[in-house]
C-alpha cells in the first residue's frame, strides 16, 4: 500500500517556491530517499509530511488519510533531525523514553522499552550517560532510538549522518539499512549525498529547485538519467549538449557518458562504438583508478576513469599528446 502520497503539492514562502507542484507515491516498507542540492526543497518536503508545515496548494495523504488538519503528533510518522535535538540535561535513557512519557506510558514500561531500544541501536551500556558524554555516532543512535520508540510506521530522517566523519557515516549507512530491513517500516531519508542515497535506497527522488527531476531505483538513475541534471548530480557524468547529440546519435537531445565507460580507442573492439579524437590534458592518480581528462572537439573536456590494475596505459599516455577515446554507443 502507499505510505505517503504527494498530490500536486506546493509550499511557497512569498516568492520562493520551496516545493513546487510535486506528485509522489512512497510505498509502505520502502527505503525512499529525497536527494538534491542545498535549497532544493528536501527539508520542506519532509516537514510537510511531518506536519510542521502546511502545503500552499495540493494535498498529502498518509496511509490513505488526508493529512490536512492532522497535527504532527497524530500522524503515523516520526522525525530524526540532523542536529539530533537531544535534551542535554537528561540522560540517554530519559531522552529515549521521553516520547512515551508524553503519551502517559507508566514508568516501568517506559524504561523497559527504552532499554530495549538502546539494545537495538547497540547502546545498552550507555543509558545513564548524558548526551554530551557520547560521540557523534552514539548521539545519532540515541536520536534514532528516541524516534523509533514511538513505533512510527514512517520514519523521516533529515541528513541524519551529516555531522559524522566519512568512516562512521559509511558504517551507519549499513546499520540504518539493516535496521530498516529488520523493522520493515518506511524510511524517508533526506540527503544531498548521492553516494549515500544510492547505497541505501530502494528508490530515490532527485530534487532540483523545488521540483522532482526523476524518481527511480539507484541503478536506473545511474544508467538511465531522465535529465542532464540527474546525470550530472548522480555520479560523475560527461554531459553533451543537443547539437553534439545530433552529430553522434541522430537525435537532438542531451546525452551523458559515464567516465568508466570511456576507454582509449585501442581497448574497445570495433562495433557499435563512438570514437573521438582528442588531447590528453591531465592524469589524476586516485588509487584503485586513475582519471584522465581529455579534450575532445577542441573545447569539451571529458573524464575517463580506468582501473589501475594493469597500469600500462598510464605509462604510455603523454600529457599534452593526442589520444583517441571511445565508448560503446549503448553507454550513451
Ligand atoms: P533543502 O532541505 O533541500 O536544502 P529547504 O527545503 O530547506 O531545502 O529549502 C528550500 C527553499 O525554501 C530554500 O530556498 C529556502 O531558503 C526556502 N525556505 C525554506 N524554509 C523557509 C522559510 N521558513 N521561510 C522562507 N524561505 C524558506
Ligand atoms: Mg535541508
Task: Please report whether residue 180 resides in a domain.
Answer: yes
Same domain for 83 and 210, yes or no, is: yes
- Phi, psi dihedrals of residue 274, rounded to the nearest 5°: -95, 130
Task: Please report whether residue 242 resides in a domain.
Answer: no
Q: Are residues 91 and 127 in contact, defined by beta-carbon separation less than 8 angstroms?
A: yes
Q: How confident is the model at residue 247 (pLDDT cuts 50, 70, 90)?
A: low
Q: How confident is the model at residue 237 (pLDDT cuts 50, 70, 90)?
A: confident
Domain termination site, one of 233, 265, 291 = 233
- Phi, psi dihedrals of residue 131, rounded to the nearest 5°: -55, -35
3-state SS assignment for residue 27 = strand
Q: What is the pLDDT of residue 245?
A: 47
The x, y and z cell numbers of residue 82, run together, are 540532523
Model confidence over 283-325: pLDDT tens digits?
998 888 999 999 998 888 899 999 887 656 665 678 899 999 9
Mean pLDDT of all residues in 235-244? 75
Nearest CA owner, ligand 1 atom 14: 39
Model confidence over 140-154: pLDDT tens digits?
889 999 999 988 999
Same domain for 184 and 120, yes or no, is: yes
Burial of 292 (0-12, 13-18, 19+ CB in 10 A): buried
Q: Is the dihedral of CA 89, 93, 94, 96 positive or negative?
A: positive
Q: Are residues 239 and 231 in contact, defined by beta-carbon separation less than 8 angstroms?
A: yes
Task: Please report whether residue 246 resides in a domain.
Answer: no
Structural domain span for residue 309: 253-331
- Expressed in angstroms and rounded, the spacing between residue 161 Cα and the centre of ligand 1 is 20
> Which of 10, 11, 13, 37 most suits a substitution to test ligand 1, by most atoms within 8 Å of the C-beta?
13
Model confidence over 160-209: pLDDT tens digits?
888 788 888 888 899 899 999 999 999 999 999 999 999 999 999 999 99
Model confidence over 91-109: pLDDT tens digits?
999 999 999 999 999 999 9
Domain termination site, one of 233, 264, 287 = 233
Same domain for 31 and 113, yes or no, is: yes
Model confidence over 281-290: pLDDT tens digits?
999 988 889 9
CATH of the domain at 42: 3.40.50.300
CA–CA separation, 298 vs 259, rounded Å?
19
Task: Please report whether residue 226 resides in a domain.
Answer: yes
Q: Which ligand is nearest to the CA of 19?
A: 1
Q: Are residues 18 and 210 in contact, defined by beta-carbon separation less than 8 angstroms?
A: yes
Model confidence over 24-82: pLDDT tens digits?
999 999 999 999 999 999 999 999 999 999 999 999 999 999 999 999 989 999 988 87
Domain termination site, one of 233, 264, 288 = 233
Mean pLDDT of all residues in 213-225? 95
Same domain for 269 and 229, yes or no, is: no
Closest to 9 (Cα-Cα) out of 68, 74, 65, 64? 68
Q: What is the pLDDT of residue 221?
A: 95
CA–CA separation, 98 vs 178, rounded Å?
25
CATH of the domain at 319: 2.40.50.100
In degrees to the nearest 10, what's the CA dihedral of 167, 129, 183, 72?
-110
| pLDDT at 246 exceeding the cut of 70 | no
Same domain for 43 and 186, yes or no, is: yes
- Expressed in angstroms and rounded, the spacing between residue 192 Cα and the centre of ligand 1 is 14
Q: Is the CB of 15 under 6 A from ligand 1?
A: no
Residue matched to cell numbers 589524476:
284
| pLDDT at 244 exceeding the cut of 90 | no
Cα 292 off chain centre by? 27
CA–CA separation, 289 vs 286, rounded Å?
5
- Expressed in angstroms and rounded, the spacing between residue 37 Cα and the centre of ligand 2 is 9
- Expressed in angstroms and rounded, the spacing between residue 158 Cα and the centre of ligand 2 is 7
* Widest Cα–Cα separation across the chain: 76
Number of domains in the chain: 2
User: Is the ipTM here above 0.90?
Assistant: yes
Same domain for 68 and 191, yes or no, is: yes
Q: How confident is the model at residue 266 (pLDDT cuts 50, 70, 90)?
A: confident
- Phi, psi dihedrals of residue 275, rounded to the nearest 5°: -115, 135
Q: Are residues 267 and 327 in contact, defined by beta-carbon separation less than 8 angstroms?
A: no
Amino acid at each position: 500500500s502507499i505510505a505517503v502520497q504527494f498530490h500536486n503539492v506546493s509550499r511557497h514562502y512569498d516568492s520562493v517556491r520551496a516545493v513546487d507542484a510535486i506528485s509522489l507515491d512512497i510505498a509502505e516498507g520502502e527505503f525512499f530517499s529525497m536527494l538534491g542540492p542545498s535549497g532544493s526543497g528536501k527539508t520542506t518536503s519532509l516537514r510537510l509530511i511531518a506536519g510542521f508545515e502546511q502545503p500552499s496548494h495540493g494535498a498529502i495523504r498518509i496511509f490513505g488519510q488526508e493529512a490536512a488538519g492532522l497535527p504532527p503528533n497524530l500522524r503515523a510518522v516520526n522525525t530524526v533531525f540532523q542536529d539530533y535535538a537531544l535534551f542535554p540535561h537528561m540522560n540517554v535513557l530519559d531522552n529515549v523514553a521521553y516520547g512515551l512519557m508524553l503519551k502517559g506510558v507508566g514508568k516501568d514500561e517506559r524504561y523497559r522499552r527504552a532499554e530495549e531500544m538502546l539494545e537495538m541501536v547497540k547502546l545498552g551500556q550507555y543509558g545513564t550517560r548524558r548526551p554530551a558524554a557520547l560521540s557523534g555516532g552514539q548521539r545519532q543512535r540515541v536520536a534514532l532510538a528516541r524516534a523509533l520508540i514511538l513505533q512510527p510506521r514512517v520514519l523521516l530522517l533529515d541528513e541524519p549522518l551529516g555531522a559524522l566523519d566519512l568512516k562512521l557515516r559509511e558504517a551507519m549507512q549499513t546499520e540504518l539499512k539493516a535496521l530498516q530491513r529488520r523493522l520493515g517500516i518506511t524510511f524517508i531519508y533526506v540527503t544531498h549525498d548521492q553516494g549515500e542515497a544510492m547505497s541505501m535506497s530502494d528508490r530515490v527522488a532527485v530534487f532540483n529547485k523545488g521540483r522532482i527531476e526523476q524518481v527511480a531505483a539507484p541503478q536506473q538513475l545511474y544508467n538511465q538519467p531522465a535529465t542532464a541534471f540527474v546525470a550530472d548530480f548522480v555520479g560523475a557524468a560527461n554531459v553533451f549538449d543537443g547539437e553534439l547529440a545530433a552529430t553522434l546519435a541522430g537525435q537532438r537531445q542531451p546525452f551523458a557518458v559515464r567516465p568508466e565507460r570511456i576507454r582509449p580507442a585501442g581497448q574497445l573492439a570495433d562495433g557499435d562504438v563512438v570514437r573521438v579524437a582528442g588531447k590528453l590534458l591531465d592524469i589524476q592518480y586516485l588509487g584503485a583508478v586513475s582519471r584522465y581528462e581529455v579534450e575532445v572537439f577542441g573545447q569539451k573536456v571529458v573524464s575517463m576513469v580506468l582501473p589501475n590494475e594493469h597500469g600500462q596505459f598510464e605509462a604510455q599516455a603523454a600529457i599534452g599528446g593526442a589520444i583517441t577515446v571511445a565508448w560503446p554507443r549503448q553507454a550513451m
